[in-house]
Structure formats: structure tokens, C-alpha cells
Amino acid sequence: MLHALSHPAYRRLFLAQVVALAGTGLATVALGLLAYDLAGADAGAVLGTALAVKMVAYVVVAPLAAAAVARLPRRHVLVGADALRLVVALGLPFVDQAWQVYALVFVLQAASATFTPTFQSVVPDVLPDEDDYTAALSLSRLAYDLEAVLSPVLAAALLLLVPSSTLFLGTAAGFAGSAALVLATVVPARGRTAADDDDDGPEAPFGHRARLGTLLLVRTPALRPVLALNLAVAAAGAFVLVQTVVVARSTFGAGEGAVAVLLAVNGAGSMAAAVLLPRVLRRTPERRVMLGGAALLAGATALVPLALGAPRTTGLIALGALWLVVGLGWSAVETPVGRIVRRSVPARDLPAAFAAQFSLSHACWLVTYPLAGWLGGTGALGPGGTALLLAVVAAGAGTAAALLWPRTPDAPGPAGAATAAAEEAVRS
């Protein structure tokens, strides 16, 4: 897996991803604590709303941004997005109203919705070898898990010395480091896109470029189960990210450090799976790995009410074990997605496809974040009932993915039937 890091350009890009996500992890902990300071026991509703705003930014901005910056140098796009995120992070320590949190979160995540798909489209160009690219997908998963492991641990240590609002300064430092590393990297020029080859010429209409990626994902048989599995991840993941602070602080009466530790355990499970997946995927079909991950997500979430009914120490240990399993399933579902997209979509359309996958996957979180926050509050289903509901959603999504999975993948490249159909639909 570490062989991919022998490529200098990818090594710098990976380090940029690591430092940016480490800062984002600090912000995740700080936002949860800020929500608790603003709303107390109703922090789940505030945090759920903030995360729903985040998903709105992802869903709306990602495909539009991909089309808007389609002809800009990708290095400039990445650095510009980091600069905007840095400015917003510096403003978060000064908010004292929930609406201010929502506004700044929208701007921050709009920038992330521009950065992430652009970054994902660069990696296949930097690493053309499939084994190296598979290793890069696992390394990317590990980088994302820094949000849930190293960052919360660092946050727990910092909270012994500084107020929680200071964690946002670490977020700003992460974005600054990311921008510096991208500036030091030679990013390959964009390949020709489907829009460039259309009869409309290189200046194809904005709507044309914005719709292509979504149609590719919806009309490509090999990618339809991925869309269903996105919902399974969002159902289990939303409960972990929204309700951990409420369960730890209110249900079990634990301190702020317990919140960071539980999130770290969840990330540890995901990291463990990411380390093993390059080897596993050499001999195990993606279908089996990803559907198995969905089963872990549904099963672990369904057992949450049992942990919540246990005494404090036993309950926290049980909850940590379940969060570990959720992390394993999360990584098993998400890590192979890039392989399937790369195999099923021609290279010229990868930026649009990755932007659409980013947008549509987060559309699922847009549904599950409010469910986890609002239904898990004191006046609705409560954490236990909400966990059961989200477990049913995850199980249903996993079942749908199994039924949608094609026996024969769609042919990759411009000759693929789904690709041709999507391009024709965009033209019409």
C-alpha cells in the first residue's frame, strides 16, 4: 500500500489531504462541543441541523462547482478552496448563535465540495497503475479516518489546556498546510472531457457539464448499487456523528474526553479495514466486501439500544465496540468505490463522475443527519429508537444494492452503453 507514496506528486497531495483532514477533525469535535454549549441536551438537534446544512452545500455545490471550474487549472482550484476554508475556520470561534454556525458551515463545506472532487479527479492522473491507485484509495480512507482517530485524540489533549473554541485555530492551520503542499505539487493538466468532444465544442453549456456526472452514475449499472450503499453508510454514520456527544454527555454523564475517545474508536475500525482492503480486494470481489460492510453497519446500529440500557461503564465499552464495527463496515463500503467508478467511466468523464458521486452520496447524509438529530432528541424517538430506525434504513439499502448489482459490469470507456446513453441524454 505504501508504494503509491513513492510517487512525489501523489506523496505531496496525500500529505495535503492528511493535514487538511486533521484540521477538519478538530473542527468536528469543536462543533459538537459548541452545539452543546449553545443548546445543552438539545445539542443533537443543533448539530444535526448544522450537518444537514453541510450536506446541502455538498449536494448543491459539488456538481455546479465541477462544471464552473472545469477549465481552470486544478492546482488553482485546490488552493483557492483551501484559502476560503481557512478564512471560515478563523471565524468560527467567535460565533454565539446557532444561525451563525449554520451560515459559516455552509460556506466552509461549499469550499470542501469544490476541493474534494477536484482532488479525487487528480489522483487517477497521477497514479495510472491500478494497484497504485487501489493503494491510494486505501490511503485516502486512512486520511479521512484521521478525523475520527488522531484529531479527536489531539482534541482531547488540547482540551486539557485550552478552551474548545481554540480547536478551530488548528483547523485553519490544517487548511494552510494543505494549500502550501498543493502549491509545491505539479498537478497534471486536465484531460479532454466529454463536453470538449460534443458538437457544442469546447465551450459546452454550463448545464451540460453539470448534468453529465449524475446521469453517468444513474445510468451505469455497475454504479447503481454504489448509490444504494451510500445510504447504508449515511444511516449508520449519521447516528455516530450526531448522537455520540449526546449519548456520552447526557445518557452516560461522561465528560468531553469520552466524546473524543468514542469518535476515535469509530475511526480506528475504519482505519483497520482500510489497511487490510488492498490485500483483500486482490482475491475477494468488491461486491462481497461492500455488501458485507453494509451488513456490519446495519447490525451494529441495531444493537445500540442494548448498549444504551447498560450501566455507565459497561454501556460506554459496549458503545465503543459497536462504533468500532461501524467503522469497519464504513470503510469496507466506501474504499472500493473509486475502483468501480474508474473502471466504469471513461477517463475524460472522471471529474464529472467523482463530483456526482460526492454530491449524491452526501444527499443521503442530508436525509439521515436530520433524522439522527431531530428524532434522537429528548422529545421524539430518543437515541435508542432512532438507532433502530436507522438500522432498518441501512439494512434496506444493503438489500437494494445486492439486488441492483449487475452480473456483468458495463463496458468502460467511450463505447460503454451507459456512458453513451448518458452523453446523449445530456445533449438532448
Tens of pLDDT, residues 327-380 = 999 999 988 888 888 888 876 777 777 777 877 887 888 888 888 887 876 556
The per-residue pLDDT for range 146-187, each reduced to its tens digit, is 655 666 667 767 776 777 777 888 888 889 999 999 988 877
SS3 label, residue 185: coil
* pLDDT at position 87 over 80: yes
Range in 250-259, 298-307, 388-397 with the lowest mean pLDDT: 250-259
- Topology of domain 2-427, CATH: Growth Hormone; Chain: A; (1.20.1250)
The upper half-sphere exposure of residue 39, i.e. CA atoms within 13 Å in the direction of its Cβ, equals 24
User: How many angstroms separate the CA atoms of 105 and 52, rounded?
Assistant: 10
SS3 label, residue 215: helix
How far the first Cα of the chain sits from its last, in Å, is 43
The per-residue pLDDT for range 47-86, each reduced to its tens digit, is 667 777 777 877 777 777 777 777 788 888 899 999 999 9
- Look up residue 292 and give its amino acid: G
Write out the three cell numbers for 166: 481554540
What confidence score (pLDDT) does residue 27 get?
77
Burial 292-330 (b: 16+ CB within 10 A, else e): bbbbbbbbbbbbbbebbeeeeeebbebbbebbbbbbbbb
Q: What does R_g of the chain's alpha carbons equal in angstroms? A: 21
Burial class for 165, CB neighbours closer than 10 Å (0-12, 13-18, 19+): middle
